[in-house]
Structure 1
Amino acid sequence: MDEHHGSAQAATETRPREALLSVRDLQKHFPIVKGILRRQTGAVRAVDGISFDVHKGETLGLVGESGCGKTTTGRLLTRLVEPTGGSITFDGRNIAHLRQGRLRPLRRDMQMIFQDPFSSLNPRHTVGTIVGAPLRIQNVKTEHGVKRAVQDLLKLVGLSPEHYNRYPHEFSGGQRQRIGIARTLALRPKLIVADEPVSALDVSIQAQVVNLLDDLQHELDLTYVFIAHDLSVVRHISDRVAVMYLGKIVEVANRDTLYSDPRHPYTVALMSAVPVPDPARRDRAQRERVLLTGDVPSPINPPSGCRFRTRCWKAQEICATQEPPLVPQDGDPDSHLTACHFPVGRDDEIKGRRSADKRLG
């Protein structure tokens, strides 16, 4: 899978970098209300001013700890959640504040794969009804009818056309996720937001679904935003990776650069937790593991300045007073962006790991 994806990535990098999706200063604050009068006393700053681009034909991986705002970001991109502020430019049009009537035709071009294949399918409906629903809702006319179109979609995702009249409970978790993917592809979208699409599946099934998504991308010229917490999965499928922490994007780089040379201390800690399959390297990796101190701060009252400073071994006074901007590290605005006053270099990465271990006693 690496060799196949590597050649595809090289081909992608030679094409003009045209953004299908551009996000600028996107925010989502969930209000906290109390009392009989339901007065707002605060807000959960789930997504708090993020900006990134997704280019046509690429996969942008979005990673981070639970509660960092990944899923909320995915739902904002597809307008399943209303943004508090910022812009979402999809295919040249700002859709951040479009009314549902004007947004509905655009939903043909953007779809979502949900995390749980068990709850995302209506148990009362047959596979044919579930997969054909987008065609009926959007009133799409097919050459040979909806049934034939659904059966073709089932074959496309590795299922049998004979499954048309079966119900979700008759399938395994991996098969249910394939049904969900078939439903997502029904309208031939340009952009697919995949929210933890393999986290609920067994490891062997995860590989099959990831390979399927990779094959579909090249066959149908799809663009993905792939949300996950498993960095090993993200490494296989992504062209570029964005790292989130407490509602902010702290680092963005192409896949190979991020995994070989992480710059943000939080990214270094995440990378150190990735399992190493090679026994010869495993002992060394375990010795260099970064164990972060403290808990993740509350998104209701995040730290001032850099939000990671309360757990960072490189934090200094400026980190508490000034929020670091997400800026390029090597002069190329499209290559490696890091939001850190003191980004980690190759020389001091090991020092930082040892320092983190000492702080833990």
Structure 2
Amino acid sequence: MSESPEPLLSVQGLEKHFPITKGLIKRQVAAVKAVDGLSFDVVKGETLGLVGESGCGKTTTGRLITRLLEPTGGKIVFEGRDISHMSQSALRPLRRDMQMIFQDPYSSLNPRHTVGAIVGAPFRIQGVRTEHGTKKAVQDILELVGLNPEHYNRYPHEFSGGQRQRIGIARTLALKPKLIIADEPVSALDVSIQAQVVNLLEDLQNELDLTYVVIAHDLSVVRHISDRVAVMYLGKIVEIADRKDLYESPMHPYTTALLSAVPVPDVKRRSERERIRLQGDVPSPINPPAACRFHTRCWKAQEICRTVEPPLAQLDVRHQVACHFPENVPSDAVPEDAGTPVPG
């Protein structure tokens, strides 16, 4: 990971509330709090994994970062510029530096356009001219992602799921972006194809000096590709840590429960591991629990968890957790905003 004096991307208190309206005059009666106060940084050259259950706000976060959605509150700072409420015309030049890989390789490609038109669209939209023409540039990109340059005139329906995702990646890479938001880039693919695409993303990062935010719910994929991992629950980040620290010593009970569900091929190790089964369903983001949002399903919850929201505190080097009673806490860990050690 390359050092940088400031983060490439900084998210501060990010919120997205979708209004729920009623009646002819569309009066707002409630709101879906899909993202409710996220803060994290991503430095140049690293990969941040964003994980959590379905419906926790991961995809919404990715769309907010790329400004496909307008934030309700908070700040998004990219390369030192606040892009939170920037107009679409002002955002257009920045689109070259921020791109997104979409989850579904079938619906994200226009079936009426050829591969050449799809991958060449960014050049046309941004008015970018290349030395040897757009067609040659597109064919070079196709070759870079493991496709045949002769595929230029073919249509998406002629390709498999894995090949379509490679086409989507090629389109993302066309203008050599600095930041790529990968929204479940391999979840719709076969396991054998998943490994190929993950390895391709890693090779491209090394070759082109890319920075990734990888959104996923497959913890095995996240462990393989990420430098740091942020765990989301019901619109909030509950833990951010270095990949090794998070997988070996998770501090938040929710993270511990998630990791206990990861399949283990070794039968002996599987029998030795305790499987934690969370009780109940994920609460509604329309009316989330007060204070700690996980307290309704947490086996460690006490009265303070129902009345005081835990801050995302730094308990170890590159390890933050939002919990009143975290696990695996070093004996000398003291939160930055507290005067006494957190109970273990």
Residue 280 of structure 1, CA deviation = 2.3
Asked whether the 8 Å contact 1:23–1:87 carries over to 2, the reply is: yes
Which of residues 226, 232, 235 is equivalent to 1:244?
232
Out of 333, 336, 339, the residue aligned to residue 322 of structure 2 is: 339
Say whether 1:80 aligns with 2:59: no
Normalised TM-score (structure 2): 0.95
Q: Secondary structure at the match of 1:206?
A: helix
Partners of 2:4 and 2:43 within 8 A in 1: no
- Larger helix proportion of the pair: 1
Q: Aligned pair in 2 of structure 1 residues 232, 169: CA closer, same or farther (>3 Å)?
A: same
Instruction: Please give the alpha-carbon distance, in whole angstroms, between the structure 2 residues aligned to 1:100 and 1:76.
Output: 13
Give, in angstroms, the shift of residue 225 of structure 1.
0.2
Tell me the residue number matched to 2:340: none
Q: Which residue of 1 aligns with 2:301?
A: 315
Are positions 1:208 and 2:191 aligned together?
A: no
Tell me the SS of whatever aligns to 2:181: strand
On the 8 A contact 2:101/2:172 being kept in 1, the answer is yes
Q: TM-score, normalised by structure 1?
A: 0.90
Is 1:147 the counterpart of 2:144? The answer is no
Which structure 1 segments of 5+ residues have no match? 1-11, 348-361
- After superposition, where does 1:64-213 map in structure 2 within 5 Å? 64-213=52-201
Q: How many residues align?
A: 330
The amino acid that maps onto 1:184 is: T
**How far is 1:219 from its partner?**
0.2
* Mapped partners of 1:207, 1:80: distance in 2: 28
Q: Distance in 2 between matches of 1:299 and 1:305?
A: 14
- Runs of 4+ aligned residues of structure 1 deviating over 3 Å after TM superposition are 15-18
Structure 2 gaps of 5+ residues are 331-344
Give yes or no for contact 1:239–1:255 (8 Å, CA) kept in 2: yes
Question: What do the CA deviations read for 1:221-273 (whole angstroms, capped 9, x no partner)?
Answer: 00000000000000000000000000000000010000000000000000000
Q: How does 1:210-359 map to 2 (within 5 A)?
A: 210-285=198-273, 288-330=274-316, 332=317, 335-345=318-328
Q: Take 2:6 and 2:181, find their aligned partners in 1: how far apart are those partners?
A: 18
Q: Secondary structure at the match of 1:310?
A: coil
Q: Which amino acid aligns with 1:342?
A: F
